[in-house]
Structure 1
Amino acid sequence: MAPSRTDNPDMAKKHLKVRTKAKRLKTEMGKVREDQLCLIEEQSKLVTRFREIERQCNELKQEAQMMAKQSAMTRLKLELMLGILKAREGGDLVQAANLTRFLREIVAMEKANAILAQVKDEEDEP
């Protein structure tokens, strides 16, 4: 019959050490696996947060562009109004009428664009 592991005390000690080491390694591997899962979860949270920040940034850029356009249009309308006043003061009624017509066209265009934007927003809503 073949000798068993317990027959040789040195072999039994080595076997016990190997089993203890294997258990320790399994425990450490489990901790590493948990750490990896935590890292993956945190990375996922960060990616989600980054995407949200990026979305907000794009939204702010669009708002800034819209404000710049509105500011430019407001400035144009103010300059037209000033031109109308100067033309009237100078007695140039033809120039005043042309500037007034141009101002009315701009205001009408802005109203039409606002209505189109409102309709588009209503269509986009679920």
Structure 2
Amino acid sequence: MKLHIDKTNYTIAKFPPTFQIPTWFQSEETRFKSITYTNEECSIIAPTDILDPVQAESTEPDWFLLKIEGILDFSLTGILSKIATPLAEKEISIFAVSTYNTDYILMKQSDLTTAIQTLTNAGHQIME
């Protein structure tokens, strides 16, 4: 499987469920960013350099991103498992996000070298 690596430093932040989409999130940036609302929270993932954590209830910085290349059909199964299983065997924690087109996996920057080696050994192609 082809995976595109984005070594940008990302932060995952938790905000109150009533938090309004901030202007810094709506900027012209074309890098990955995600916002999810539930009854309990608003979770935002954004490059650390644009995220304003002042109103955040908590933040978790220092993540990098892998994007599964290509548009994934909804009938496909086991895609995340093929990536998550070898990482779990090396005790590398992941934070997965899915969009309509594909899946994204965030991992801690401290696991970057081990994650790349593990996924390459598992037969995945890492592209920068």
Q: Which TM bucket (shorter chain)?
A: under 0.3
Please state which structure has a larger fraction of its residues in helix.
Answer: 1
Q: TM-score, normalised by structure 2?
A: 0.21
Q: TM-score, normalised by structure 1?
A: 0.22
